[in-house]
Amino acid sequence: MFNAILVQQAEADQRSHAALTQLDTDSLPQGDVLVRVEWSTLNYKDALAITGKGAVVRRFPMVPGIDLAGVVEQSEHSAWAPGDRVLLNGWGVGEEHWGGLAQRARVKGEWLTRLPPSLNTHQAMAIGTAGYTAMLSVLTLERHGLTPDCGEVLVTGANGGVGSYAIAVLAARGYRVIAATGRPRESAFLERLGAAEIIDRSELSDPGKPLAKARWFAAIDSVGSHTLANVCAHTCPDGLVAACGLAQGMDFPTTVAPFILRGVSLLGINSVTRPAEERQQAWARLAEDIDPALLDEISHDIRLGDTLEAAERLLAGEIRGRLVVDVNA
């Protein structure tokens, strides 16, 4: 038997309900690798799944948790053997397949990534999907020619997980970072991460002009909607914008002006189904670029049972940075 957060749906009204419960290994879904989970995370998607406030869960019952890190216990996959230290992000885990908010997980071997030698499982989850997505964004911008000499880089949603790690990674590589946040009281935190300038998100969150004064060469946006539209409108000629989130909304109310009059490139970031080689590259760079001392600044630990209450606070915007879940506490 093992502990897990389980989301179930009532037949009468189709409402979902999450609870801390005990399950047995035989109840786990199909997969060729059994992982003893040591640490997981609580992300925005997980909070939606736990509270039932978003259509995240595709099948019930479901163990949420889009991240996990632990040790292989059993394997029928050629790439993995008992004792291997692994992590998992994406692949519909926590949405279509039971996820990481449990002490055990049975998954497909091709979904797993080998933990970089310099990271332990707790550090990997302190980084988690948020840091991984931030790094995918940085790598994509760099593949399209971004260097520190090109100009300033804007990061929206700066106090969130993706934003926090984007700032830290960019600053470590010598970029001058502008951080957009709705929490100006957190300016000192953002400066410790490496932000050189901080602006209020209200400058970007309302409807704006199709084309505005050029302010930055590149941007990483996890907000979407009017914010992304304004980010593009303020991007310099031949600049780059990586879009990786939709905290404000899925809509994109803009025109083609930034793209055909300034040659701005909008780059979509899919962190869910990346190939193994790209995942390993991203995690290797994270292990190299992230100062371990920053992990305590960006994240804090909670117990498995705390996730139910923390999910409500996360959706209410009351939590800064990352929540790392000790599934064995």
Instruction: Say whether 87 sits in a helix, a strand or coil.
Output: strand
pLDDT value of residue 17: 92
Q: Which two structure tokens, joined as six digits, stand for 25?
A: 């290994």
- 135 and 106 in a common domain: no
Boundary residue ending a domain (268, 299, 317): 268
- 147 and 259 in a common domain: yes
Q: Are 138 and 170 in contact (CB under 8 A)?
A: yes
CATH number, domain with residue 302: 3.90.180.10
- 304 and 251 in a common domain: no
Single pTM value for the model: 0.93
Alpha-carbon gap, residue 83 to 74, rounded angstroms = 9
- 137 and 110 in a common domain: no
pLDDT value of residue 212: 98
In 3D space, the residue among 257, 230, 253 whose CA is nearest the CA of residue 241 turns out to be 230
Q: What angle do CA 180, 187, 210 make, to 5 degrees?
A: 15
Boundary residue ending a domain (220, 235, 268): 268
**Is the residue at 273 inside a domain?**
no
**Is the residue at 121 inside a domain?**
no
**Is the residue at 30 inside a domain?**
yes
DSSP states along 150-212:
G--EEESSTTSHHHHHHHHHHHHTT--EEEEES-GGGHHHHHHHT-SEEEETHHHHS---SS-
DSSP states along 273-304:
S--HHHHHHHHHHHHHHS-HHHHHHHEEEEEG
Q: How many domains does the chain have?
A: 2
Q: How many CB atoms lie within 10 A of CB 46?
A: 31
pLDDT value of residue 96: 95
pLDDT value of residue 186: 85
- 240 and 161 in a common domain: yes
- 107 and 183 in a common domain: no
Residue whose structure tokens are 């117990």: 303
Q: How many helices (H) and strands (E) does the chain have?
A: 10, 15
- 137 and 262 in a common domain: yes
- 260 and 140 in a common domain: yes
Domain range spanning residue 192?
Answer: 130-268
Instruction: Say whether 8 sits in a helix, a strand or coil.
Output: strand
Bond into 292 cis (ω within 30): no
Q: Which residues of the chain have pLDDT under 50?
A: none
CATH number, domain with residue 135: 3.40.50.720
- 167 and 246 in a common domain: yes
Alpha-carbon gap, residue 35 to 32, rounded angstroms = 10
- 201 and 252 in a common domain: yes
Instruction: Say whether 5 sits in a helix, a strand or coil.
Output: strand
- 134 and 246 in a common domain: yes
- 249 and 182 in a common domain: yes
Identify any residues that bridge with 71 across adjacent strands, giving them in sequence order: 36, 85
In 3D space, the residue among 83, 104, 120 whose CA is nearest the CA of residue 23 turns out to be 104
**Is the residue at 276 inside a domain?**
no
Convert the pLDDT of each residue in 166-181 to its tens digit: 999 999 999 999 999 9
**Is the residue at 285 inside a domain?**
no
